[in-house]
Structure 1
Amino acid sequence: MSSIKERAAALNLAEKLSVVPASGQVFKPVHKCLQWRSLITYLKSTVTIKRRRVHMKSHNDCFLGSEAVDVVVEHLKISMKFEDVTRPKVLCVCQALLDCNVFEAVGAKPMGKDQKQVFQDSKNSLYRFIEVHIPSVDELERGVLAVGLQAFFCNIASKKLEEQTIPPPSHVEMLDGPDTESLEASVDSLSFSPSKGKTVIDEVWQELTLLRLLNLVEIPVLDGILQCSLNPVSPQKTQLPHSHPDLIHSSNHLDRKVLKAFRDSQEDEWLFAAMDCLDFLSDQSVVDLSRALPHCFSEDPSGIQKSCYEQPLLSSRSLNNYKLLVYGALAKHYSHTDRAPLMPQQMTDIYKAVIDLLVTAKLGTALEALQLCLKLLPSRNREELRRLLTFMALAAEPQAIKLDTEMENRLAVKKSFSRAILHSKNLPKEKEDLMVVFMISNIHDIFKIPGALHKQVSDKLVHLVQGKQVDETADSTFCLQVSKRTYVDSTKTTTNDELWKLLDNIHCNIKISSKEKKRLLGQFYQAHPEVFNQYFGDSAVTIL
């Protein structure tokens, strides 16, 4: 699967998005994003985070307000080469980070419900980073820093400063992150509202993905597909961070950490893929697997192991026993009949089209259509499906650990997990199995995005930035606008062709008796005499 940097390079947005609007103002959204991201990253990596005691109370994972100001001052002076970096100005920057929930105050509450927290340059003020929130550039520069980070410190016009300090677009480094995050900077210069600007990239991806899919397969109705894309699955509750970090972590949280550490210590691809799927299991299943781990070490005859922390590598026998425990937990979780499949039933028309392509041996077209279909899935469904299929591909190999004494691994894996991937009342079981087997066989390719789609998205974003309106359906045969005369002629020609086939079927069918054939031909002549005369010619009278 291609990385985010590869996708960004394919889009080539760095050179295309530095456009000059009609007003003459130069927009450099990528550079603004780099400035803030560099500042936040440096602060997180440099400031000292540890357990601290203030006013007879201890707090975990905290840093001092005064130390944060020192770190920001150092970064602005040395790394960003800013002048006039005073502590009062840096205090405003830290206040902006606090307002945007980059970090939060610890052990301090505002006097009123509507009063915001005030950042304090003090050794008695503690703060803690909030890992689940990444603010946008617009949020960070709203308020006291509305003029931008550079203009705030350098006291010169932002346009002139940007022209002097910003490197050429070809040297701008693209950021790592999710698909939408790596492209967010491209729409900062658009005249959209902030709420609409955040979703414009998702809309472009969905629109062009669906358009390209319609060029490959025939889909009669789009309502279900659009509804599936616009209503993603709610995030998993078990993965939310602890609401009270000062308290001792719950048992299931610690058990997940233990299993993750054990997974990282093993050099087994099968086990690594299986334990990647544990993020989507219930807390009770994870606790049971974690508690069973020390017993595998205690029963290991290869040596004396007092705990799993002293001997991270299991013997082959003990490792296989634990693999079977993990496989059993995954099979139990994904075999529940009340689970909704990871591939929503609203996209059944796409599944049917892909299966028809597989039946007719059009494997290349089927693969691209499946790639586009998976791109339309909600992000959480797509990630869980990728992890599950990766594990299924490894577990189905004949040389892998034997999963069932009565059947081979491929059948056991398909029996345990197929229903969790694809299940629809409108699809026969054998066609569902064909689809699942094709996905497992092409696990390294189905989650890639076609290069042609990358180019279309890149061109579309450039047109949006430049204010151009381009009709992507101009080259699509299913959306051509024709005249009324052309439509009538096409309808008449298609109808005559189908009537001709029907008449030929009646006349040439040897299974119909002569009496029945004559009766059907007579009915056809009464309804469509012109087609009848064209088909039989001069012998039409003798036929009747």
Structure 2
Amino acid sequence: MALNLTPRFRRLGSRSSLRRKTGHLEPFYATQLWNNIIHALQTQVDSKQQRWHWRMHNDCFTGADAVDVVLSHLMQNVYFSSNDISRLKAARLCQTLMDHKVFYPVGSRLFSKEQKMMFEDRSSSLYKFMDSCALPGAEKDHEMENLLCHERLEPKRKFPETNKITFLNPVALEAHDKRINELLKMINLHPSLSPNPKRKRPTTLLSKKDEWFMVAVDCLEYFPDELIVHASELLSQIVNDREMVAESHKRVLFDTIARHYSQNREPLLYDRYHNIYTGIIKLRESGNSGRALEAAQLCVRLLEPNWREELHRLLSFMAVAAAPSAYKLQKQNMNKTVIRRTFTKAIIQNKSLPKTQAEELVLFLMDNHTAVFKIPDSLLQMVRKKLLLLQEGGDPDTSTGFTFCQHISQKEFDEQKNKTTMDQLQQLVEKINQNSNMSVKERNILLHEFQKHHPLVFLQHF
């Protein structure tokens, strides 16, 4: 049996023996679909003023919002089967839109010759639309198009309706449809109404029975094109007896994955949740593994979907590759030791967390990689209880689970606020009056200012 490599792995490895035949979209449908996606993005994404690097930018939208809109549009399109659609593919399509100047990342230099910008499916990544000249089908000189787009970036944009975009030149129309077809193939969206349903099965080199290969290839979906192409070429060049071929394939895949995650990149676990990580480690050390697992499950739900999926795939690969009976990664070290040293920094980097604790947390997540990504049973029970309460007409503010605040009336809030304020002011005036580090003159100046702004507290104290 042959293992169907990931669509992206097969596509980018077309120069090797990993080749694949795809159906073609109907004539002119690619252009219509492309324009409809752009129109949906321009009309449905939430553009507003947002802050980026201490500056406010108008009409910005986040990468996560853009993927939400594109994914929703593709899922509502009956031309594609639901199995072909994923958030990762929608993010790739957003990358293609950005590459073709439909929108651009905030803070980048327009039309610069610097390294290619990567689209990020994150709520912290901001983007802005180009002018209407960036829409496909607009027949302008290329240099003039760049100039107009650069000069006409205004807060209020008027985009032409997609059904009014026309092509005056049939040759240009054909070339444009071909270009869009290629872009759609690049994100591997397969037509569910393919005119050629009898297609050859892709030829592959990896065994479908080996779980090691399956989890390794799953990780490659998140890798840059250059790494995928390089790995594909190396795999196609391996010719030897069957046992040696399998080992050589595993070495190529492991080296590719290790090279990608050894780069200086942001860890998959956000640094801002370091208190949660410390809490999980303390629960583990105290022998409360059940609570530690539940805390890890809740923590993983805080990650953005694409990061959570990438972490899931990496941990699955680590768990399989770390097994003592798996392919020997290094002669002098156990597989688990190699995996721990290779991938810990890719998952978590925190200066306040010792290296041993970081490795302990990573191994805990790896050993429980299946259960960690499930929704905690306690959370499901809380939601069911809440829904049942609402169906019965109960008070939605009634506590049905863990609470961190107490519901009080406005009167109680005002009383607590006034009392707390008065107590703090009393402590402040006492500290000023008893401060021996200040001269008498400085102390009298501060007391005078205090009396000026809080005369009632001053009189009560003195």
- Structure 2 length normalisation: TM-score? 0.48
| Higher radius of gyration, 1 or 2 | 1
- Structure 1 length normalisation: TM-score? 0.41
